[in-house]
Amino acid sequence: NAGVTQTPKFQVLKTGQSMTLQCAQDMNHEYMSWYRQDPGMGLRLIHYSVGAGITDQGEVPNGYNVSRSTTEDFPLRLLSAAPSQTSVYFCASSYSIMGGYTFGSGTRLTVV
Amino acid sequence: QQQVKQSPQSLIVQKGGISIINCAYENTAFDYFPWYQQFPGKGPALLIAIRPDVSEKKEGRFTISFNKSAKQFSLHIMDSQPGDSATYFCAAPGRPNAGGTSYGKLTFGQGTILTVHP
């Protein structure tokens, strides 16, 4: 099993550009989430999903869109990149919150 | 939004000492309180978690203490080792929400950078 796979690992964007961060898991997990990690801010929840077709907003959803058309994939779209979106992004999945999340290795995004 | 407040922000202990990290939370949809450990360049990984039927959970040198009335829980690392040096995050489930998806929401604290000196 590959676990949770995030691509790309590194990305530099110009302000105003859009892009999609990919996240795929092969564990048949229903629950998936996107977090961003910034120094001193911990892990902040952007969006989460409890199954295909069901998504909801987290703490910091503005500027990001998600969709969940399959159980395996949960892409995160940046609509118009801003320097404030420079961060490390983590995708995570779980069969149950109480089962513990499996995190991907992260995408380091820099917006210039 | 669920608030999870974690302290201290950083902690330095000597090898063999006890490391203590605290978290406070607001209302949650259910009682489940995990701690995650993160090493540099890696994603967080589940370390230990406590469920609603107990006030303390121990796994090796790691113990969670849970005080439901105070809405607080803490991580104790006994006999701390240099290999324990990492960032630790507490987490809590989301509040009940109108959409009924709160059971899938996990909110993290700000993190504690633990350094254990040899």
Please give the C-alpha separations between residue B12 and each of B3, B70, B111, B114, in angstroms, as whole numbers: 25, 26, 14, 6
Whether A42 sits inside 8 A of B108 (CB atoms) is yes
pLDDT at B54: 83
Mean pLDDT, rounded, of chain A: 94
B29-B32-B35 Cα angle (round to 5): 130
Is the pLDDT at B64 greater than 80? The verdict is yes
A88-108: average pLDDT: 92
Q: What would the pLDDT profile of A6-53 be if each residue is shown by its tens digit?
A: 999 999 999 999 999 999 999 999 999 999 999 888 999 999 999 999
Confidence bin at A97 (pLDDT 50/70/90):
confident
The gap from C-alpha B38 to its chain's centroid, in whole angstroms, comes to 12
pLDDT at B10: 96
pLDDT at A40: 82
- Asked if B15 has any chain A CB less than 8 Å from its own CB, the reply is no
B96-104: average pLDDT: 76
CB B79 within 8 A of CB B20: no
Confidence bin at A111 (pLDDT 50/70/90):
very high
Q: Determine which helix (DSSP H) or strand (DSSP E) holds B102, and give its type and residue range.
A: none
CB A105 within 8 A of CB B44: no
Pairwise CA distance, residues B78 & B63, whole Å: 8
Identify from B106, B107, B110, B112 which residue to disrupt to test chain A contact, counting A C-beta atoms within 10 A and taking the largest count: B106
- Asked if A39 has any chain B CB less than 8 Å from its own CB, the reply is no
Pairwise CA distance, residues A21 & B89, whole Å: 24
Mean pLDDT, rounded, of chain B: 92
pLDDT at B58: 95
pLDDT at A48: 95
